[in-house]
Structures are given as C-alpha cells and as structure tokens.
C-alpha cells in the first residue's frame, strides 16, 4: 500500500551543554532524511533554558532536516527567561495554521513564561475552530500533553483547560493530536481522534524504560499508521 503523506513528529530536543546529545541528534536527522517525510512537526522544548545560543543550536539541528514543510511550536523550557521572543526570532509565530497537500496542521503555543504549566486559552478557541473548517486531514500540535501519560510519575503540568480543548478538537473532527513534554512516547485513541505523545528525540532526559525516539505517522486513503522510530532508524508499529 502506498502512502498519501508522511509526518515525522519529534519533540524535546533540549539543546544545552547539560542535556543535548549531538551524536544522537545526528542519527535522528539522518533517519528522518532517509524517510523523507512530507511534513515535520516539532512540539517544543527545543532548548533547555530559552537562551539565545541554545536557540541558535536548535535552529541548526532542525535546519539539517531536509523537509520544506515544518511546523514548530515552543515548549515550557523555550519560554523561560523571555525565550519566547527568541523563538519568534528564529522560528516565527508561536501559533500558526498550515495547509499542506490535503493536511491542515494547527500549531499552538501552550507554554507560559517562566512556569511549566500548560494553557491554550479561550481566546484561541474560535480561531482554532475556524482553522479546522476544512475537509483536509486535521492535525493539532502543541507541547503539553492533553491526556495523562503512563510511566511519568505524579501527574502535573497538563494544560489547565485540557478538557475544553479536547472537546473543541473532537467537535472540529480533528484526526490527530501531536504533543510532547513528558518524554515518554504513548498513543491514546479518544473517540475517532489519536492523541500521540513523543519521547525526547535527542536529549539525556529519558524516563522509565524508554529511550530517545520520535514518531512517524503515515496517512493514506484507508488507514492511519503510527510508528515509533529509534535514532538508528529502527521502527515499530504502535497504532
């Protein structure tokens, strides 16, 4: 079966002296480029401290990925130390909508300055709904997890309005939600919507019995397939 479109989803790069693994990042980029996805979605925590040199490094790493369609949103670490301004300097708007060959990707900034808690906000709900007034395959991307993730310890920092956001996305007929933050890969199915968390792509901040990884989503006329991909390129079908 041939695919219609492929989405590579990575998250939590954490560029910094303490946590970023450059050799792993190189392998991740090589494996993504070998896959040649149609869209790359990066769901935040590009940096550890929101510092300018870290954003420079994140820009370089993401620039190595050979894909013209990239959707990037900030995470809570990116909004530290007024880093959300550097995010805009390097990557553009923190919230955006993209129509890409039959797929609409809405990316929102769920971070808040200098705190780790997530929040989307009622002021965005109408805009999100209007952005999804399309017959395209619908993807929503944010940093924070909307549903608790197993093997991550005590639940915290889930968006304070996650219930309202989930109801909104369900009513809009969203097919796929992409998020990160918890550093544990997981897939939930809620009604007809897949909610997909990514692990950390290339940092040493792994949890439980996981390792560095990213997600590959294949969409065709008959099905949606989700793979967990290791930096080596080895992949496993998970949904």
Tens digit of pLDDT per residue, the chain (239 long)? Answer: 455 899 999 999 999 999 999 999 999 999 999 999 999 999 999 999 999 999 999 999 999 999 999 999 999 999 999 999 999 999 999 999 999 989 999 999 999 999 999 999 999 999 999 999 999 999 999 999 999 999 999 998 999 999 999 999 999 999 999 999 999 999 999 999 999 999 999 999 999 899 999 999 999 988 999 999 999 999 999 99
Question: Whole-model pTM?
Answer: 0.97
- DSSP-derived pairing of the beta strands 137-141 and 103-107: parallel
Give the tens place of pLDDT for each residue, 134-153: 999 999 999 999 999 999 99
Mean per-residue pLDDT of the chain: 96
| Residue 193: predicted pLDDT | 98
Give me the percent of the chain exceeding a pLDDT of 90: 95
C-alpha distances (whole Å) from 113 to each of 37, 71, 82 are 32, 21, 7
Q: What is the DSSP letter of 179?
A: E
**C-beta separation of 73 from 92 below 8 A:** no
**C-beta separation of 57 from 25 below 8 A:** no
What domains sit in the chain, N to C, each tagged with a CATH number?
5-237 (3.60.21.10)
Q: What is the gyration radius of the CA atoms in the chain, in angstroms? A: 16
CA 7/CA 213 separation, integer angstroms: 14
CA 98/CA 94 separation, integer angstroms: 13
Provide the 3-class DSSP secondary structure of residue 228: strand
Compute the half-sphere exposure of residue 101: CA atoms within 13 Å on the CB side of its CA. 12
**C-beta separation of 3 from 206 below 8 A:** no
Q: What is the DSSP letter of 81?
A: G
Of 143, 132, 130, which is closest to residue 104 (Cα–Cα)?
Answer: 132
Of 183, 191, 175, which is closest to residue 226 (Cα–Cα)?
Answer: 175
């Amino acid at each position: 079966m041939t695919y219609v479109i492929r989405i590579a989803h990575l998250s939590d790069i954490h560029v910094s002296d303490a946590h970023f693994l450059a050799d792993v990042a190189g392998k991740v980029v090589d494996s993504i480029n070998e896959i040649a996805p149609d869209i790359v979605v990066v769901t935040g925590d590009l940096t550890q401290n929101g510092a300018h040199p870290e954003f420079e490094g994140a820009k370089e790493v993401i620039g190595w990925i050979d894909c013209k369609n990239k959707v990037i949103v900030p995470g809570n670490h990116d909004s530290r130390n007024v880093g959300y301004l550097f995010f805009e300097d390097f990557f553009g708007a923190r919230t955006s909508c993209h129509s890409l060959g039959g797929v609409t990707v809405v990316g929102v900034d769920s971070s808040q300055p200098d705190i780790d808690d997530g929040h989307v906000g009622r002021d965005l709900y109408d805009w999100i709904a209007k952005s999804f007034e399309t017959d395209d395959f619908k993807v929503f991307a944010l940093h924070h997890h909307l549903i608790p993730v197993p093997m991550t310890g005590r639940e915290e920092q889930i968006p304070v309005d996650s219930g309202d956001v989930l109801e909104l996305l369900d009513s809009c007929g969203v097919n796929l939600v992409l998020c990160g933050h918890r550093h544990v890969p997981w897939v939930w199915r809620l009604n007809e919507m897949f909610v997909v968390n990514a692990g950390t792509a290339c940092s040493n901040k792994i949890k439980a019995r996981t390792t560095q990884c990213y997600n590959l989503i294949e969409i065709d006329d008959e099905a949606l397939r989700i793979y967990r991909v290791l930096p080596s390129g080895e992949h496993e079908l998970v949904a």
